[in-house]
Amino acid sequence: MAEQPLFRRVALLGFGLIGGSIARRARQTGDIAAEIVANARSEATLARVRELGIADRVEADPARAVEGADCVILCAPVGAYAELAQAIAPHLAPGCIVTDVGSTKQSVLRDVGPLLPEGVHFVPAHPLAGTEYSGPDSGFATLFEGRWCLLTPPPGADEAAVEKVAELWRRCGSMVETMEAAHHDRVLAIVSHLPHLIAFTICGTADDLEGESRQQVLQFAASGFRDFTRIAASDPVMWRDVFLNNREALLEMLARFTEDAQAMARAVRWGDAAYIEDKIRRGRIIRRSLIELKQA
């Protein structure tokens, strides 16, 4: 027998991969929300959500979408959060929990927290799950199973609200951890943001090759390059906002990577086989660790 829904009404502001997956999970399990309200900026997205039938109500106006909701989840690119928070703040019910799914957390605390009225609880979150696909058709109910969700509540956050958000993600299938926002941003800079920056750059380099060379790169692409193209197919607006809103941590990790890449280049130039083998061996250890942790 399914548990009682955790929330009476959940409003999803933004309906792409993550928002769509939350809605599908809620539909499948019945224990997350009694009612799902969907909002998106694009009329085409709203029309598609209606066709899919995975929300109980679809609203073009975010202010109308959050009325009466006891949980609001920001699922738009993080660069849109401040505008969204301004639009919804006067319409949030007392006791409502506002959370999000953004990949940067200090910017979310900066852009959203100060705009929320007294009596509304704010618990930022980041599910570490995704694919290169976007849009309302891209979501699926099992996206979060076995994946981590990181919560970064501000100091003094209501403990009961934090626990409800943690339980939301547990019911989505996630493992939950809490950490400080600045630490989150440094960790994600190396495990997510820098790999995406490198993938976009490598694919840009390939695209800039002239004529025949570019065609042969695409025609004979080995698996390594194919993996980069999968990452590089990700949503450009979302990743633009991530880079700009975590620039300090990202630039720090990029500088460290650049130093390591230059050291590898020197090893290749001067035939330092031991250095090269050590780097490759350490990469294999990291991969084995991910497999053991079931995060591969």
pLDDT at 2: 58
Residue 73 · residue 100 · CB < 8 Å: yes
- Where is pLDDT greater, at 211 or 105? 105
- Which tokens is 66 given? 């959050």
pLDDT at 228: 85
Q: Give the pLDDT mean for 230-250.
A: 93
Q: Are residues 14 and 158 in the same domain?
A: yes
Q: Are residues 96 and 32 in the same domain?
A: yes
3-state secondary structure the chain: CCCCCCEEEEEEECCCHHHHHHHHHHHHHCCCEEEEEEECCCHHHHHHHHHHCCCCEEECCHHHHHCCCCEEEECCCHHHHHHHHHHHHHHCCCCCEEEECCCCCHHHHHHCHHHCCCCCEEECEEECCCCCCCCCCCCCCCCCCCCEEEECCCCCCCHHHHHHHHHHHHHCCCEEEECCHHHHHHHHHHHHHHHHHHHHHHHHHHHHCCHHHHHHHHHCCCHHHHHHHHHHCCCHHHHHHHHHHCHHHHHHHHHHHHHHHHHHHHHHHCCCHHHHHHHHHHHHHHHHHHHHCCCC
Please determine, for residue 212, whether its predicted confidence score (pLDDT) is greater than 80.
no
Domain boundary among 140, 156, 179: 179
pLDDT at 74: 98
pLDDT tens digit string along 139-168? 999 999 999 999 999 999 999 999 999 999
Domain boundary among 158, 179, 200: 179
pLDDT at 182: 97
Q: Give the pLDDT mean for 47-69.
A: 95
pLDDT at 132: 83
- Which tokens is 77 given? 């690119």
Please determine, for residue 1, whether its predicted confidence score (pLDDT) is greater than 50.
no
pLDDT category, 206, cuts 50, 70, 90?
confident
Any residues with CB less than 8 A from the CB of 106 and at least 6 apart, and which?
181, 182, 185, 245, 246
Residue 55, domain CATH: 3.40.50.720
Residue 263, domain CATH: 1.10.3660.10
Please determine, for residue 8, whether its predicted confidence score (pLDDT) is greater than 80.
yes
Q: Are residues 266 and 282 in the same domain?
A: yes
Rounded mean pLDDT of the chain?
93
Burial class (CB in 10 A: 0-12, 13-18, 19+), 206: middle
Q: Are residues 141 and 92 in the same domain?
A: yes
Query: What is the percent of the chain with per-residue pLDDT over 90, rounded to a whole number?
Result: 81
Provide the β-strand partners of residue 12: 38, 73
Amino acid occupying residue 219: Q
- Where is pLDDT greater, at 218 or 258? 258
pLDDT category, 234, cuts 50, 70, 90?
confident
Domain that residue 270 falls in: 183-292
pLDDT tens digit string along 70-89? 999 999 999 999 999 999 99
User: Domain total for the chain?
Assistant: 2
Q: Are residues 172 and 200 in the same domain?
A: no
Q: Are residues 204 and 223 in the same domain?
A: yes
Domain boundary among 126, 153, 179: 179
Please determine, for residue 282, whether its predicted confidence score (pLDDT) is greater than 70.
yes
pLDDT at 205: 87
